[in-house]
Amino acid sequence: MAARSLRTAFVAGALSLSLIATSCGDSKEKESASTTAPGGGSDGGGNAALTGTDCGQLEFDADAPKGGTFVDYAYMSDSGTNTSFDPGAVQTLNEFQITQAIFDSLTDFDFTEKCKPELKGDLAESWEVNDDATQYTFTLKKGIKYSNGTEVKASDFKKAWERAGSAELASAYGYLVNSIKGGEALQAGDATTLEGVKADDAAGTLTIDLASPNAEFASILVHPFFSPAEPSDLAKIGNTTGWGDKGLTIGTGPFKLEKADETEVVLVPNDQWDGNVYGDTEVFLEKVQFKMTDSVETAFQTFEAGEGDSAPIPSGKYKDAMAAFPKNSVDNPLMGVYYFDFGADDPQVGGDKNVKLRQAISLAIDRQELNDKVYEGTRDDATGIVPPGIPGYDANICDYCEYDPERAKELFDEWKADGGKLTKPIRIDFNEGGSHGDVAAIIQANLKDNLGIETELAGVAEDYFKVVAEPGGCQICRAGWYADYPTYGNFMVDLFSAASIGGNNFGRFDNPEFEELIKKAQAEPDDAKRAKLYNDAESLLLNEQTHAVALNFYAGGQVFRDRVENYDYGPLGFVIWERMAVAG
């Protein structure tokens, strides 16, 4: 990335992703391909009464028609943010739709039961983990091949990870290798190999020694960052990347790349594909065409004119689109949050001296107005950074995630009384296209009306996610996150850890107390205790520091033709392209 009833329950908190451990053998030592990460078994704390919630299943018709071409206008509709669908560098959900169709990883989640995703082996047959979650050993499935017919070897993973985590590639997700022994040296450019990864091609095993205990590591390996690289593809690309064939393109997924240029990306079935965690072994479509457009408005207008099979819904068009095209994804709840970061290195809004200013700004923003005017009531106000459904979710963490202009004015006046002063307008950074400019304009009006704060809108047309991640690139900057995997750490570590500065940590937040909390959380094998540590980290982020302004939780936002079948997807927002079908 369901029915309305599911979405309501989801956002109200009545959704628990119970990662139930059903280990073969000793649950502390052995983890089979169908079990979850160490310590799985509770709902993450705080949601015990919600464990039995029925959120429904993925809708799938195994007898859907075979063949045909699906023409997609939904995902390549904001070309200015496109950088690469290379698995080591992919950063946006739109591009990830291509990546996950081409590449598979060691593990993946089965979302058949949307409330209860089950971690399974994908390219891994099985895995084992030691008592303190510092060493994982994965055994690969036999006979797995890339789309070009080359057999997958254990060493392909090691070399791919060394490339993905290299200082030269400078991936926004490069910090993920820091979990592995030797990863920090690789990221710093002080090493070219990963000391903690031992690949045995003859045995088909990968033994991974971690830099510190991480009970979530098997779940993290779901990310395409940890896909293997086909040797000739890797030799051609090296530690560089870019759009289309400038990055890695040969994978083990259900589709393979036929074409990628400034107009479209074309995928065709991979006849070497071994199948997915749902048990599917064949795709339905003959071809998927991702059409490139310059804006979501253009894409939607093209769809209205009769072209394509899917399109994004632009700001102000939700009700019209839902009425005209009853088959849509607007009611699909997603594990994602739309928020703005504060630049921790910015003298106007960053630092301890400006905490009350940041708190005032967060309270001065009318989230309901945003939802009504931009999304026409299709989203729900955020209760924090971590959305409902993530184990450990707590709806009562954030003290500054509501609209309270009176309290905002009090805090703003206190900040000024303490010596705070704005010497020039605050810059609101956002990527152009979609509805981000509309959101920024409402924030601008809210801050002027409620606090008298002058702001300037600073839209970025291209490479926004690179520009805003640079030092000084974020003052108040638009951000957003769809979970890569359903863990609390995917929000706290990936978005706000010191390791992700220069990547997904746009505001460059760096707090020693926060770092200690997330480190302890990752090492904690007990779900409830781990959740409490993450809750404390999120509270520090949003309350004591107020480093981010959480605005709303994502929901689906595409329309598609009546002829499309099996469009349903899980709460991470990833389309299962191998199941997609078209009639006629």
Cβ atoms of residues 342 and 476 within 8 Å: yes
Residue 11 has pLDDT above 50, yes or no: no
CA distance 245 to 222: 23
* pLDDT per residue as tens digits for the range 345-363: 999 999 999 999 999 999 9
Query: Do the domain assignments include residue 178?
Result: yes
What percentage of the chain has pLDDT greater than the value 70?
Answer: 90
Cβ atoms of residues 78 and 434 within 8 Å: yes
Same domain, 150 and 273: yes
* pLDDT per residue as tens digits for the range 35-83: 222 222 222 223 332 233 456 788 899 999 999 999 999 999 875 678 8
Same domain, 523 and 566: no
Same domain, 204 and 343: no
* pLDDT per residue as tens digits for the range 409-456: 999 999 999 999 999 999 999 998 778 999 999 999 999 999 999 999
Query: Do the domain assignments include residue 315?
Result: no
Place of tokens 């205990």: 213
* pLDDT per residue as tens digits for the range 142-175: 999 999 999 999 999 999 999 999 999 999 899 9
Task: Annotate 294-323 with b (16+ C-beta within 10 A) or e (fewer).
Answer: ebbbbbbbbbeeeebbbbbbbbebbeebbe
CATH code, domain carrying 56: 3.40.190.10
Same domain, 519 and 572: no
Query: Do the domain assignments include residue 303?
Result: no
Same domain, 569 and 537: no
Query: Do the domain assignments include residue 252?
Result: yes
CATH code, domain carrying 345: 3.10.105.10
Query: Do the domain assignments include residue 484?
Result: yes
The residue segments making up the domain with residue 491 are 333-555
Per-residue confidence (pLDDT) for residue 328, from 0 to 100: 87
Same domain, 243 and 354: no
Query: Do the domain assignments include residue 503?
Result: yes
What percentage of the chain has pLDDT greater than the value 90?
Answer: 76
CA distance 241 to 97: 18
Same domain, 89 and 225: yes
Same domain, 234 and 381: no
Same domain, 140 and 18: yes
Same domain, 247 and 386: no
* pLDDT per residue as tens digits for the range 168-211: 999 989 999 999 999 999 999 999 999 999 999 999 999 999 99
Task: Count helices and strands (H / E) in the chain.
Answer: 16, 21
Domain count, the chain: 2
Same domain, 16 and 148: yes
pTM score over 0.75: yes
CA distance 276 to 285: 16
Dihedral of CA atoms 170, 175, 179, 180 in degrees, nearest 10, equals 0
